[in-house]
Amino acid sequence: MSARILDGNALSAQLRGRLADDAAALAARGVQPCLAVILVGGDPASSVYVRNKVAACEKAGIKSLRFDYPQDADPASVLERIAALNADPAVHGILVQLPLPRQFNEKAVLEAIAVGKDVDGFHAENVGRLSQGQEAFFPCTPHGVMKMLESAGIAVKGADAVVIGRSNIVGKPMAVLLTNAGATVTVCHSQTRDLAAHTRRADIVIAAVGRPRFVTGDMVKPGAAVIDVGINRIQDGPEAGKLCGDVDFASVSAVAGAISPVPGGVGPMTITMLLANTIEAARRVADKR
Ligand code: NAD
C-alpha cells in the first residue's frame, strides 16, 4: 500500500486565502487584525518560527508587531510589555514564543496574557475551557491536525486514536480535541510499556515525540492515518542539517492509508491556525463595537 499524502501546504494555502478575505472584511469594518509576537533570546529554531509567523500574518493582511528581547532579559520587562499589549485595543492576539530562558517562569508569562488575546491557547483558562468542550482558543498545532483530518475525510468519531507525547502544547490538547470529536484516545509517553502494541491497534496515530523517525512501519496498522507533528534537525551523517519528523516516512508510507509529511504537513497548519485564532479574536472585538 502507498499512503495518501496529507498536504499541509495545499490545505494551508486554501484556508489562508479565506482568512485573508476575512481579514480584509474586518479591516473594512474598521478593525485591522493585529498580532503581537514576543521573542526572547536568539534560539535559531525560535527565530525561524517567529519569522515565518510574521511573514504569514503580513501575507494574510494581519498586522504584526514584533518585540525582541535578549537572552538575559529581565522577566519584569516582558511582563510589562504583555500588560501594555493587553491594554491596547488595537492588538487582538499576543504570542510569546516558547521556550523561554531559564530566568522566566513560563506559566506566569502565559497566564499574564489576556484570555481573549491568548491566540496560542496556552492560558490555563483556555485549556480548561477546551477540556470542558466550551468555546476557546485551541492550541494551534493540535487544532491544525484536526483540520487536516477533517479535510481529508478521515473519520474521527469512533476511531481508535493513539497520541504519542503528553506535552501541554501538543500531546495533551491533541488528546482532548480527539476525545471531544468522538475518538477513543490512548495517550502514550516516555513511561509507556510496549508502545507498539498501542500504535498497532490505532486507526489514527499522532506522533509528537521529538525523536527523528521514531515511528516505523512495523508499529502501524495497515491503512491507518499517521500524522507527524515532529520537527527534528538531523545532527550527523549524510543528511545532517535536514529536517525530519517523528515518523519514518519511507517505512510508514508503505503501510499507512494516509500520512502527513515533514516538512509540508503539520508545520504550515500550525501557522494557519494562529492566523485563524487572531482573526477570530479581532472578530470578537468588531462584533462587540
Ligand atoms: P516535548 O519534548 O515537550 O514532549 C515530548 C513527549 O514525547 C513527552 O510527553 C514524552 O513523554 C514523549 N516521549 C519521549 N520519548 C518517548 C518514548 N521513547 N516513547 C514514547 N513517548 C516518548 O515535545 P513537544 O513540544 O510536544 O513537541 C514534540 C515534537 O513536535 C517536537 O519534534 C517538536 O519540535 C514538534 N512540534 C512541532 C510543531 C509544529 O508546528 N509542527 C509544534 C510544536 C512542536
The grid cell for 115 is 484570555
Question: Which residue type, as a one-letter code, is found at position 118?
Answer: D
H or E segment and range at residue 108: helix 106-112
246 contacts 212 by C-beta, under 8 angstroms = yes
The reported pLDDT for the residue numbered 289 is 87
Cell numbers 528581547: residue: 69
DSSP 8-state symbol, 116: G
Whether residue 238 has a cis bond before it, omega within 30° of 0 = no
Q: Is the CB of 267 under 6 A from ligand 1?
A: yes
Q: Which atom of ligand 1 is nearest to the CA of 265?
A: 41
74 CA from centroid of ligand 1 (Å): 28
Q: Residue 42: what pLDDT? A: 87
End-to-end CA distance of the chain: 54
Strand, helix or coil for residue 271: helix
For residues 227 and 48, give the distance between their C-alpha atoms in angstroms, rounded to a whole number: 22
Phi/psi for 205 (5° steps) reads -120, 130
Quick one: the chain helix, strand, coil %, rounded to 5?
A: 45, 15, 40
Ligand 1 mean position to 14 CA, how many Å?
A: 28
Q: Which of 103, 104, 102, 110 is nearest to 86 (CA)?
A: 110
CA 96 to centroid of ligand 1, rounded, Å: 19
For residue 167 and ligand 1, the question of a CB distance below 6 A is answered with yes
CB of 231 sitting under 6 A from ligand 1:
yes
Taking the C-alpha atoms of residue 119 and residue 279, their distance in angstroms, rounded to an integer, is 9
2 Cα distance to chain centroid: 27
Going from the Cα of 53 to the center of ligand 1, the distance in angstroms, rounded, reads: 20
Q: Is residue 208 in contact with ligand 1, taking CB distance under 6 Å?
A: yes
CA of 229 to the centre of ligand 1 (A): 8
Mutate which of 143, 170, 234 for ligand 1? The one with the most ligand atoms within 8 Å of its CB, which is 170
Of all protein residues, the one whose alpha carbon is nearest to atom 3 of ligand 1 is: 167
pLDDT at 1 (0 to 100): 60
Q: Is 189 in the pocket of ligand 1 (CB under 6 A)?
A: yes
Pocket lining: 209 vs ligand 1, CB cutoff 6 Å: yes
In angstroms, the CA 215 to CA 219 distance is: 7
For 24-80, how does the pLDDT look when each residue is reduced to its tens digit (9 = 90+)? Answer: 999 999 999 999 999 999 899 999 999 999 999 999 999 999 999 999 999 999 999
Q: Establish whether residue 266 lines the binding site of ligand 1, counting it when its CB lies within 6 angstroms of any ligand atom.
A: yes
pLDDT in tens, the chain (289 residues): 689 999 999 999 999 999 999 999 999 999 999 999 999 998 999 999 999 999 999 999 999 999 999 999 999 999 999 999 999 999 999 999 999 999 999 999 999 999 999 999 999 999 999 999 999 999 999 999 999 999 999 999 999 999 999 999 999 999 999 999 999 999 999 999 999 999 999 999 999 999 999 999 999 999 999 999 999 999 899 999 999 999 999 999 999 999 999 999 999 999 999 999 999 999 999 999 8
Residue nearest to atom 22 of ligand 1 (CA): 190
Q: Are 12 and 262 a contacting pair, CB within 8 Å?
A: no
Domains of the chain and any CATH numbers: 31-114 (3.40.50.10860), 140-267 (3.40.50.720)
Q: For position 68, what pLDDT does the model report? A: 98
Q: What are the catalytic residues? A: 53, 97, 120
95 three-state secondary structure: strand
Nearest-angstrom CA–CA distance, 37 and 177: 25
